[in-house]
Homo-oligomer: A and B are copies of this chain.
Amino acid sequence: MAPGGADARWLDAALALAMRGQGRTWPNPNVGCVIVKDGCVIGRGWTRPGGRPHAEAVALMQAGEAARGATAYVTLEPCAHDSARGPACADLLAAAGVARVVSALTDPDPRTAGRGHDRLRAAGIAVDVCAAEAGGAAGARRAMAGWLTRQQHGRPRVTLKLGLSLDGCIALANGESRWITGPEARAHAHLERSRHEAILVGRGTWDADRPRLDVRLPGLERFAPARIVMSARGAVDRLGPDDRVIAAPDAIAGLPCDNLLVEGGAGTAAAFLAADLVDRLVIYRAPLLIGGGRGAVGGFGLADLAAAHGRWALQDTRMLGTDRLDIYERRR
């Protein structure tokens, strides 16, 4: 690694690009790539919606001939397998004459799994891979968490979103729920939707609220997730041609997504928690009290309080208008 933390800073830039693809690159990982020469960025890329072209290909196209002798920073080991959709990125980097590759993570995909780095080295390229405990590796695990969850557990990463009052209600006793959170929080919730390939609600929410589950943010409308309804009983009304129905949380493994957003209601949240299938909590909390309203999460079989502790780590917190956003990640 270069002295003075320059490598870490360029890798951070690649990670920021990677995050632009979150929830949009299925079935491929949302990689980011920055190509640097003489201290200047000459190419930037992130995997495009649908998974092609890969980040490295985009960045190399920008860099052109200048890539010769440059350093490429990538958030994941470049792929080593040719595909009908394009050549292997390791070969592209070698052909462009890149002198060095700094990589945040070794690819857990058995089709690559170190062979991308090997192929680069065989082409005479210097390869540095972050140590597993390094900041770049941790950042890459976070930026590509959905894809990595799929690799590791064979299912999408699940985010449970809750919009609550101070006393933990999602609606009045009569069902009124519009609106608890303010416009800033609701806009952020739409941004979260745009970072997930699919969004799931329970049958009760589907029938009661007729939710659109789309992304109402200028420029992001096209990243609206696919809609999934969880229903253990009978046919579901008003399904669109792209909507899908699953019967239980464990059926998420078969969904074509790496990032699944669960938006409720309380029974659906409880079913995912009972199945231990929630990886991340996104909680918007408005400064109001409801009193005797509908709780956010139904019973999921918690036996005692001791078992509830230590499961969630605060990852981010901020104010959105007068509401607070807290993001927790499950401790592994």
Contact = CB atoms under 8 A, between A and B. Distances in A.
A133 to B, nearest CB: 22
Contact of A308 (B269, B273, B289): B289
Given A166-B283, A273-B289, A172 B302 contact: yes
This chain: copies in complex: 2
A270 B299 contact: no
Contact of A304 (B164, B176, B324): B176
Contacts of A235: none
- Interface bracket on A: 35 or more
A144 to B, nearest CB: 25
Which secondary structure dominates chain A's binding surface?
loop
A291 B297 contact: yes
A287 B305 contact: no
B287 A270 contact: no
B288 A298 contact: no
A285 to B, nearest CB: 9
Given A168-B296, A296-B167, A314-B322, A291 B283 contact: no
A50 interface: no
Interface string A17-41: 0000000000000000000000000
Nearest to A304: B176
A273 to B, nearest CB: 6
A295 B297 contact: no
Contacts of A270: 291-292
B305 A166 contact: no
A332 interface: no
Contacts of A165: 168, 308
The 5 A-B residue pairs whose C-beta atoms are closest, nearest first, are A168-B168, A292-B299, A288-B308, A291-B300, A291-B297
18 contacts: A164-B167, A166-B328, A169-B295, A176-B304, A179-B305, A273-B291, A288-B305, A288-B308, A288-B311, A289-B308, A290-B305, A291-B302, A292-B299, A292-B300, A293-B295, A293-B299, A293-B302, A317-B324
Interface of A: 162, 164-169, 172-173, 176-180, 269-270, 273, 281, 283, 286-293, 295-302, 304-305, 308-309, 311-314, 317, 322, 324, 326, 328
